[in-house]
Amino acid sequence: MSFNSRVVLVTGAAQGIGRVVARQFAENGAQVALHFHSNREAAEATFDSLAGDSHSLHQADITDATQAQQLVKAVIRQHGRLDILVNNAAIFEAHPIAKVSYDDWQGAWQRTINTNLIGAANVTFCAARQMIQQGTKSGGRIVNISSRGAFRGEPDAPAYGASKAALNAMSQSLAQALAPHNIFVYVVAPGFVETERVAYRLDGAEGDGIRNQSPLRRVAKPEEVAKTVLFLASEGTDFLTGGIVDVNGASYLRS
């Protein structure tokens, strides 16, 4: 698939899934606007690893409405347009209800919802309005990275599960709202993915148990998630708008 001349904004692209998504878009000819929040060193390393040129690097706290708006404006100033948005930025904080204090509980919920849902909503609004304004002939694309946890639950991190379930609902609502504008909205819902964030768990005592959740006896590679994102963002997938694609190796099957 080719994304020549297409401009892609990937949030939370300093490392993990976002890093690989950005790399695969760049390898397929896209101009990548790479967003990060605080890890500049990792973001710059990812930026330097992108194939081709005409990419850009942007720092923003997308939970702040003004910064989210400025992020999209900066992408437009640098690239002239925006064709594809990948909402990948997210946090995961354990806060088991039987063990944390009320203050810790409240803090985890606020931080998680602000980043995983409000931040995505902020960037999506600004990006979608830009896509409407520019009249994207081949169709604007928004791909939101959700989670298996939205469906099966996250007992130690209920705010995370709730934020991803809400992201799914937002995506499907916007798929209906934006289709008349030739903008299509998709969701990718991975299970465990082999990234830096969970390496300590996969390498620890619970690693085999996590891998054995799938009949494939492993977890996903970030490249597998990225390939799904690129497929959905490519032309010819219009009628998949509103769809949620599970990438969890049959570790959780929903009816």
Q: Count of CB atoms within 10 A of residue 171's CB?
A: 23
Of the candidates 73, 68, 23, which has an alpha carbon nearest to the alpha carbon of residue 48? Answer: 23
Among residues 160, 186, 200, 252, the one annotated as catalytic is 160
CA 235, 232, 141, 221 dihedral sign is negative
Q: Count of CB atoms within 10 A of residue 159's CB?
A: 24
Which residues are CB-contacts of 92 (< 8 A; sequence separation ≥ 6)? 112, 157, 160, 197
> Residues, the chain, total?
255
Of the candidates 36, 102, 28, which has an alpha carbon nearest to the alpha carbon of residue 71? Answer: 36
Q: Would residue 160 show up in a list of annotated catalytic residues for this protein?
A: yes
How far is it, in rounded angstroms, from Cα 90 to Cα 117?
9
- Catalytically active residues are 160
